[in-house]
């Protein structure tokens, strides 16, 4: 619904959930608190939907109350606990997030995948797969027709909660991934490996990533951290907040996120806030935009950023979103790219 139910929470939203018997439940959701009406209080599907909404925005706690203020659910929540599919032999897989497909491929199980959403572009063999529509709105009915043994779904960005609740409503088995940190990425690789019966392969992939992390940490520790701004979207301006793996990638590159103290996984900011933060280096990594179309002048010449020192010095660099925006086996390449940008900025 186009409203903000909690005035002190600019990211709060209201929505209705249509239940199987036709009745509707209403919810108000913010990162710190949530409330439902009498219909939502009586159905566990509403608690599940609110948990998915929270996780998609970087939260890992629920504080849900009923129409009279009574507590209905409180405490930690996790992606893995949202759905617990009964798995036997998983021969037919569907992925509805690019990072999930890359994880499946890294585990040597790409040959089991029968379909994916439209934005997946790696590995190259992805061109052979049936496409299901955008990652924020795949054709869930078609997924049901394909009868997969497992859908690897995601809650990495807001809006994906619709996919998770829709698959649940259709009774389609799913494993939900939503890493908030590099440690989460490693743990979910192991979880996915166990679900697919390739634990040894998963252990090898995780060990390789740990070795890369150690090398990046050694290099990053040799210099003073640079103040970094990472832009996920230009209008309105969005950047990673405290509950995001991007902070760790920036740290591994030898920097610190200038908005890393803001709550949530994704934060909307203004030009005034960015100028006040005074980053030393800026990286443009717009969600879903190809590297060739990342225009750094959009930051340098943006109205309101005339006094941004990184812009005046042209210390604004493109960063391929396929690495920075996909929490999976290839994400550490983003740290290497940012490290090169920081080194270049400090050399000029």
pLDDT tens digits, the chain, 348 residues: what are they?
A: 767 888 888 889 998 888 777 888 899 999 999 999 988 888 888 999 999 999 998 899 999 999 999 999 999 999 988 988 777 789 999 999 999 999 999 999 999 999 999 999 999 999 999 999 999 999 999 999 999 999 999 999 889 999 999 999 999 999 999 999 999 999 999 999 999 999 999 999 999 999 999 999 999 988 899 999 999 999 999 999 988 899 999 999 999 999 999 987 888 999 999 999 999 999 999 988 999 999 999 999 999 999 999 999 999 999 999 999 999 999 999 999 999 999 999 988
Q: Does domain 81-209 have CATH number 3.40.50.1980?
A: yes
pTM of the model: 0.90
Pairing of the two strands 113-116 and 93-95? parallel
Go through the chain and tell me how many residues it has.
Answer: 348
| pLDDT number for residue 247 | 95
Query: Do 182 and 245 touch, CB atoms closer than 8 A?
Result: yes
| pLDDT number for residue 243 | 84
| pLDDT number for residue 40 | 83
Domain layout of the chain by residue ranges? 13-77, 81-209, 224-346
| pLDDT number for residue 296 | 94
CATH number among 3.40.190.290, 3.40.50.880, 3.40.50.1980, 3.40.50.20, domain 224-346: 3.40.50.1980
| pLDDT number for residue 334 | 97
In the chain, DSSP finds a helix count (H) and a strand count (E) of: 14, 17
Q: What is the 3 state secondary structure string of 128-179?
A: HCEECCCCCCCCHHHHHHHCCCEEEEECCCCCCHHHHHHHHHCCCCEEEECC
């Amino acid at each position: 619904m186009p409203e903000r139910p909690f005035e002190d929470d600019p990211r709060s939203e209201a929505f209705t959930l249509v239940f199987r018997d036709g009745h509707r439940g209403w919810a108000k959701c913010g990162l710190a608190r949530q409330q439902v009406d009498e219909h939502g209080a009586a159905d566990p599907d509403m608690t599940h939907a609110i948990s998915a909404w929270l996780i998609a925005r970087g939260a890992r706690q629920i504080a849900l109350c009923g129409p009279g203020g009574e507590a209905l659910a409180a405490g930690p929540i996790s992606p893995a606990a949202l759905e617990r599919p009964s798995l036997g032999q998983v021969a037919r897989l569907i992925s509805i997030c690019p990072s999930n497909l890359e994880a499946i491929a890294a585990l040597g199980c790409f040959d089991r995948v029968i379909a994916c959403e439209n934005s997946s572009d790696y590995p190259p063999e992805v061109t052979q797969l049936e496409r299901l529509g955008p990652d924020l709105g795949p054709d869930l009915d078609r997924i049901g027709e394909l009868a997969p043994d497992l859908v690897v779904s995601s809650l990495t960005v807001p809006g994906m909660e619709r996919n998770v609740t829709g698959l649940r409503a259709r009774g389609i088995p799913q494993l939900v991934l939503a890493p908030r940190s590099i440690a989460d990425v490693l743990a979910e690789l192991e979880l996915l490996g166990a679900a697919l019966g390739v634990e040894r392969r998963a252990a090898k992939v995780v060990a390789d990533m740990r070795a890369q992390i150690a090398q990046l940490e050694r290099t990053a520790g040799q210099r003073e951290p640079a103040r970094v701004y990472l832009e996920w979207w230009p209008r309105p301006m969005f950047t990673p907040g405290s509950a995001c793996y991007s902070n760790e990638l920036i740290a591994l590159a030898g920097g610190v996120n200038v908005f890393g103290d803001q709550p949530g996984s994704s934060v909307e900011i203004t030009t005034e806030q960015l100028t006040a933060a005074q980053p030393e280096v800026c990286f443009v990594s717009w969600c879903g935009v190809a590297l060739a179309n990342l225009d750094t002048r959009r930051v340098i010449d943006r109205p309101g950023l005339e006094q941004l020192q990184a812009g005046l010095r042209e210390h604004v660099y493109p960063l391929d979103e396929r690495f920075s925006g996909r929490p999976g086996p290839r994400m550490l390449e983003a740290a290497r790219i940012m490290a090169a940008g920081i080194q270049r900025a400090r050399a000029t």
